[in-house]
Structures are given as structure tokens and as C-alpha cells.
Amino acid sequence: MDTTATSPERSIPAAYTELAEKIRNKTARAGIIGLGYVGLPLAVELGKVGYSVTGLDVQDSKVSSINAGTSYIQDVADDDVRELVAAGKLRATADFSVVAELDTINICVPTPLRKTKDPDMSYVVAACEQIAKYFHPGMLVILESTTYPGTTDELLRPRLEKNGLKAGVDFFLCFSPERVDPGNAQFQTHNIPKVVGGTTALCTALGHAFYSQALETVVPVSSTQVAEMVKLLENTFRMINIGLVNELAVMCGRMGINVWEVIEAAATKPFGFMPFYPGPGLGGHCIPIDPFYLSWKSKQAGVEARFIELAGYINGQMPHFVADKVQNALNDHAKPLRNSHIHIMGVAYKKNIDDVRESPALDVIHLLATRGARITYSDPFVPALLIDGLDMKSQDASAAAAADCVVIVTDHSSVDYAALVRGAKLIVDTRNALKGFSGDHIVRL
């Protein structure tokens, strides 16, 4: 029997060597499917370091905006898009036949939950099927859309291998969880550590090499399943801890204890404690949704995710708690909720951004309107809002003075809270935005 060891060089497929060289010298033609909060910032970072980037999106408005050199994402500057388009480093199209020209593709499409709390993978499947039509050997495909462990191998790999190509030999497949935090001035795409795991070690190596050209820190892991689980752990950790402090807020409210003071004091402990803060509910595309991918997948494995389900229930009840808080505050001031004018301060899902996806403000508005309140709102980042038949425009912050009750749902930094305290008749503060202010007309979460 021949026991001669195979040299590492001989075991590396030619497709790997060729693509690795293209990545190293930045001649690889990069593609991004989905030009939203994840895809566009990544496309810009890749373009900045010299890659030629093609963005694909089914929304014509996004394609037109990019090709005109205009950004529609708050964290991406118009100047960056304009310069890259002018330099020929960035273009956008809705024509998926360009996949035939590309060397790498990042899939950054939505992965929402259905009403039954199971993952809706239709956008990922649709993107993969489009890629498969024009797929060719030597490509690197990276899924970034948050999903359940096993998606990359179970959904993408079979579709890409159906014509006889083999992952890790003829093409390369990875998963890398997006970690975008809209509105975060300190951590953005280029300096948020990037986790990547491939279906084989060579896939991981190529994914690592690709991201390392544009991003400061890349963290390789042993498999796509590990990388998929990383994102779910991160957001499940946050969701559960937020659920804990939301439950604590309800307890403290019943006991007459200031929950914000409790958390602030506990946070002075230099070890063993990390502060999380209560609020009107969870918002954004990640924290309210991602843990349920894990819950759904764990049920398939015969494990009940009790912490996740309980935290999800508690967080889901917070808009109801806020609506009750508003109604009780009005009662204490001898006014019924029905026909009262309620002014909502902030409708974005968090401060200083324009994103209303899964915003708890939408639930609070719906609940108060259902109980008969007249609703107006102010938000410097969201000029118009269409919700449940209510077509509203943002009002000047001075409109709060005319309301029977003001509810601070999102604590944007640009709001003059001192003026709000002086002018408003009654305020329900769900974000501790009025820390340092006092008065009988202030009701805290």
C-alpha cells in the first residue's frame, strides 16, 4: 500500500487558487444581492478598497438611486455612493444575468417570520434560484441573511450543486452573520468584527480572505452552522435580558420603585453584571425576530426553547403595558383615554435613526387608537407614517403642548426635553429620557 502523503499544494483545487489570487489583488468582481441596511454598506466598503461591485435588487427605486449616486441608507453618505459610481466601482441592476460575470456574491435579503413564528425563507430561496440560473465554477457565495442553523447547507448547497458542481472544490460557500447596528456612529460595517464559516475549510479560508480586504477584523469559525448560531446567540442573549428588565420594570412599577435607579446602581458593580434597559417593546429586524429562528429549529430537534418563548411573550406585552400606563395616568388626571389627544414622541424603533421596522411605537399607536384616542406624533427622522389606516405626518414638537398626554416612545437626541417638560400637560416616559426632571405630570415606565 502506498503510504506517501499527499502534499497540501496538490490537494488544493485550481478554482480555489484562482479565486484566492483574484481576491488578493482585488480583481474579483463582487456582487451583493439585496441593497438594504446590510447590503449597501457592505457594497460601499468593498468598493472603497478597490473591488468592482455590482448590487442586485428587485426594487427599481433602489437601483435607480444607486446608479444616480444617491444613498437611501442613513449610515451611507451620498458622497461615498457618488464617488464609487463615478469611478466605476459600484453599479446596481435588477438583471440577475450579471451573475454570470461575477466571482463573489453576498446574499443580504430579508428573512422575516411568518405569523406562525416560523422562518420565511422565500427571499433567500428566490435569490439562490436566480444565482443558480447563471452559476459557474470558481464562485464564492456568502449568505449574510440571519437564519436558523443549517440553512446554508440545507437550502443553498443543494441548489448550487444540482448541476454537478461540488462545494469546496468547484465553488465555495460560506455563512457570515450581518451585525449592522443602524445609527451607531462608533461601530459600522468596516470595524464590526466579521464572523465567517464555510462548508469546508477552504471555503472558510476564502471567506476570511475576501472580508479581510475591506474589514478590520474577521473571525473564522469551523462551519456554517457555528456562524449561523453565533448571530442567534447574540440577539437571543439581548432579547432575554431585555425581557428580564422589562419584567422587572412591571414589578417595580407595582411596588413604587424606580427601575431606572435600580439598574443604574446595579451597573456600578465592576463584574458579573451587564446593564440592560426596559422600554415600550422590541423593535428592528433582529432582536424581535432572530431568537424565534432558534426556537423553531430547536423544536425540530425535540428541545423546547422556554427562555426564548417566555422572553418573547414578556417583550410582546410591553406595548400593552404602556397603553395601560397612559390610560391610568389620564385617569389620575381626571381624563378618560377615549377622545383624548395622545402625542407620540418618536416612532423609529430606536433613537436617532429613521427605521420603523417592528417599532413598538406602531403597536402603542394601534392600541391607543383602538381604545379611542386621537393620535399625533413627532419624529425628526420619520416625516410620514401609514399604519392601520392612519395616514399621519410628523408634527412640530410644539404640538405636544396641545396634547392631553405625551408618550415618549423613542428618545431621539435632538428633542428639547426641557421645553417638553415645561409645555406638556402630562408625560409618560418609556425611555428614561426625562432623567433629572421632576414633576407630578411625569409618569415613568
pLDDT, position 307: 86
Q: Is residue 203 annotated as part of the catalytic site, yes or no?
A: no
pLDDT at residue 298, rounded to an integer: 83
Residues 162-200 have pLDDT tens digits of 989 999 999 999 999 999 888 888 999 999 999 999 999
pLDDT over 80 (residue 285): no
208-248 pLDDT, tens digit per residue, is: 999 999 999 999 999 999 999 999 999 899 999 999 999 99
Domain residue extents for the chain: 13-222, 243-444
Residue 10's pLDDT is 53
Same fold, 13-222 and 243-444: yes
Given a cut of 70, is residue 441 above it in pLDDT?
yes
C-alpha cell at 255: 411596588
User: For residue 5, what pLDDT band results from cuts at 50, 70 and 90?
Assistant: very low
The whole-number pLDDT of residue 185 equals 86
Size of the chain, expressed as the number of residues it contains: 445
Select the more confidently predicted residue: 268 or 6: 268
Residues 114-122 have a mean pLDDT of: 82
128-142, 194-208, 298-312, 428-442: segment of lowest average pLDDT: 298-312
pLDDT at 117 over 70: yes
Whole-angstrom Cα distance, residue 369 to residue 442? 22
- Per the listing, cell 416612532 goes with 347
- Give me the amino acid identity at 255: M
The CATH number of the domain covering residues in 243-444: 3.40.50.720
- Does residue 3 surpass a pLDDT of 60? no
C-alpha distances out from residue 365 to 253, 323, 341, 361, 425, Å = 22, 9, 12, 6, 19
Q: Is the pLDDT of residue 97 over 60?
A: yes
Mean pLDDT on 296-320: 87
What is the CATH T-level fold of the domain 13-222, as seen in this structure?
Answer: Rossmann fold (3.40.50)
Choose the catalytic residue: 108, 252, 286, 405. Answer: 286
Q: Taking the CA atoms of the chain, what radius of gyration do you get in angstroms? A: 25
Cell of 322: 404602556
> Distance between CA 433 and CA 438 in Å, rounded?
12
Q: How far apart are CA 443 and CA 328, in angstroms?
A: 10
Of 296, 299, 295, nearest in space to 307 by CA: 295
Q: Which of 121, 133, 169 is nearest to 15 (CA)?
A: 169
